[in-house]
Structure 1
Amino acid sequence: MITDRVRATGFRQSAAAMVLLLGTMGTVGTALLFQYVGGYIPCALCLAQRTPYYIAIPVALAAAIAAAGRASPVLVRGLLLVLGGLMLWSLYLAVFHAGVEWGFWPGPAECAGGGGADLSAGNLLATIDAVHAPSCDEAAGRFLGLSFAGWNAIASAIFASVALGAAIAKSDRHARIR
């Protein structure tokens, strides 16, 4: 029987874990596609924004497996809380980077940038030392008025809401009681 302190888990937690797993993988996958297929060289803050996702992907996988396997509600909800915290960290990094791009505050010293080298010039080894990350205060591009950092802020806010909402939500009406 469930104690009053620990709520059972159900469809909401399982669905949230899967949404978070697919969403975090899709977000970081999109960033990697823009980098390696689109030729966008990420700045220092762009790379920093990936760190919460790199941590969140295995945590979301563990949460999805735990929820599908009907693991302890404390474990499932704890993993969802961790995911919520990671996505809040990502949200902070994204808002900070967007603020640097809009000139609201200065970026870190390592964001001074120097432009990138042409990687299609033929000899990659000769040009690899000449590649410098772009400045963090210049958006590589904008879509509907938002930079990559702005879109990451929206995605991170959505993912944090999903994770935290599922972590504290009541169990489904038809959830199995342990």
Structure 2
Amino acid sequence: MSRFLILIATAGSAALLLGAFGFQYLGEMPPCKLCIWQRYPHGAAIVIGVLALMVPMMILPYLGALAALATAGIGAYHTGVERGWWEGPNSCTSGPIGTLSGEDLMQRIMSAPLVRCDDVPWELFSLSMASWNAIASLFLAVLWIAAANHMRKNRI
């Protein structure tokens, strides 16, 4: 049972990562900085999942859960940036121009990245990709924890 849960959690991260690449390359929606950050923990979860399937060690499902929770946290943070609940990294969100001179403003515009973290390029049921990633990743974390609990109970 734990191997099945690990397989599903690993496949879930792979599916989310493939979906992100699909939106990027097939849907022509380049990712912002926070979108990229959400991908790294999924990559780690895939590696952890493959290792856990090859060598069943108690620590690996917990590490998989940690990776899933990390990407869920980044996704939740990104959702807040998109909805204007808080500011995102200065390098990928728009901010007040206040007292900037025309030259400073032009320099800021020219050095700004092409994709802003506070724009929502796609949504479904009023939830952005970052929101869906957070929700799906929380579900994956539950699968990882269930696998770890099963391993612990069966002393695998």
TM-score with structure 1 setting the length: 0.72
Residue 107 of structure 1 is matched in structure 2 by: 88
Q: Is the 8 A contact 1:17 1:64 kept in 2?
A: yes
Residue 72 of structure 1 is matched in structure 2 by: none
Deviation string 1:9-49 (CA, Å, 9 cap, x unpaired) is: xx2x1111100121111110010011011100111100111
Identity, % of aligned positions:
29
**Cα distance in 1 for residues equivalent to 2:23 and 2:31:** 9
Asked which structure has the greater CA Rg, the reply is: 1
Point out the structure with the larger helix share: 2
> Aligned-pair RMSD on alpha carbons?
2.2
Deviation of residue 65 (structure 1)?
Answer: 2.0
Residue 40 of structure 2 is matched in structure 1 by: 51
Residue correspondences, number = 140
**Cα distance in 2 for residues equivalent to 1:145 and 1:83:** 29
Residue 65 of structure 2 is matched in structure 1 by: 84
Deviation of residue 87 (structure 1)?
Answer: 0.8
Gap change, CA 1:171 and 1:55, over 3 Å in 2: closer
Structure 1: segments with no counterpart, 5+ residues: 1-10, 68-74, 114-130
Deviation of residue 171 (structure 1)?
Answer: 6.3
The residue identity in structure 1 corresponding to 2:53 is A
TM-score with structure 2 setting the length: 0.82
Structure 2: segments with no counterpart, 5+ residues: 95-111
Q: Is the 8 A contact 1:42 1:134 kept in 2?
A: yes
Residue 65 of structure 1 is matched in structure 2 by: 54
Residue 17 of structure 2 is matched in structure 1 by: 28
